[in-house]
Amino acid sequence: MSKDATPAAVKDCDIRGKYPDEVNEPFFLRIGAAFGRQVMASGQGERERGMVVVGCDDRPSTPALKKSFMAGLIAHDLQIMDLGIVPTPVVYWAKETLHAQGSAIITASHNPPEFNGLKVMNGKKPPSADMIRALAEEKVGEGIPKSPALGKVKAWPDAIDRYKSEMMERFSGSGIDTLSVVLDPGTGCQAGVASEVFRGLGAKVIALHDHLDGTFPERHPDCAIAEHLAPLMAAVRDSRANLGVAFDGDGDRMAVVDDLGRILASEHLGMILLKGPLRPEPEMSVIIDLKCSMHLDRLVSKLQGKPIRCKSGHAYMKAMVLEKGAILGVELSGHVFLAILNGRDDPLYTALMLAEYLAGETRPLSSLVDALPRMIMTKDLRIPMAGEEMEHIIEGLKQGPGGARVEMLDGVRLVWEHGWLLARRSITEPKITIRWEGETFKDLKKIGRVLAENFQSLSPHVKRALDQEGKRHA
Does 311 share its domain with 203? yes
User: pTM score, two decimals?
Assistant: 0.96
For range 378-403, the mean pLDDT: 96
Residue 1 forms part of a structural domain: no
Does 406 share its domain with 311? no
For range 101-123, the mean pLDDT: 97
Q: Tell me how far the alpha carbon of residue 335 is from its chain's centroid.
A: 4
Return the pLDDT at 372.
Answer: 98
Q: In what order do the strands lie in the sheet with 254-257?
A: 204-207, 180-184, 243-247, 254-257
Range of the domain at 463: 376-472
Split at pLDDT 50, 70, 90, the class of 1 is very low
Residue 165 forms part of a structural domain: no
Residue 237 clears pLDDT 50, i.e. is over it: yes
Return the pLDDT at 138.
Answer: 79
293 is catalytic: no
Return the pLDDT at 137.
Answer: 86
For range 96-122, the mean pLDDT: 97
Where among 323, 343, 370 does a domain terminate?
Answer: 370
For 340-355, how does the pLDDT look when each residue is reduced to its tens digit (9 = 90+)?
Answer: 999 999 999 999 999 9
For 31-81, how does the pLDDT look when each residue is reduced to its tens digit (9 = 90+)?
Answer: 999 999 999 988 654 556 689 999 999 999 999 999 999 999 999 999 999
Distance CA 51, CA 124 (A): 13
Does 330 share its domain with 239? yes
Distance CA 121, CA 211 (A): 28
Does 179 share its domain with 223? yes
Split at pLDDT 50, 70, 90, the class of 178 is very high
Read off the CATH number of the domain in which 70 is found. 3.40.120.10
Provide Rg for the chain, Cα atoms.
23
Does 351 share its domain with 418? no
Where among 336, 370, 404 does a domain terminate?
Answer: 370
Does 217 share its domain with 145? no
Split at pLDDT 50, 70, 90, the class of 474 is confident
Residue 246 clears pLDDT 50, i.e. is over it: yes
Q: In what order do the strands lie in the sheet with 328-330?
A: 306-310, 285-289, 328-330, 336-338
For range 254-261, the mean pLDDT: 99
Return the pLDDT at 146.
Answer: 60
Question: What residue type is 66 in one-letter code?
Answer: K
For range 198-202, the mean pLDDT: 99
Residue 407 forms part of a structural domain: yes
Does 318 share its domain with 202? yes
Return the pLDDT at 47.
Answer: 55
Pairing mode, strands 431-438 and 15-18: unpaired
Where among 102, 130, 159 does a domain terminate?
Answer: 159
Does 414 share its domain with 433? yes
Residue 86 clears pLDDT 60, i.e. is over it: yes
Q: Pick the catalytic residue from 2, 103, 109, 266.
A: 109
Does 130 share its domain with 179? no
For 393-448, how does the pLDDT look when each residue is reduced to its tens digit (9 = 90+)?
Answer: 999 999 999 999 999 999 999 999 999 999 999 876 799 999 999 999 999 999 99
Split at pLDDT 50, 70, 90, the class of 4 is low
Count of the separate structural domains present in the chain: 3
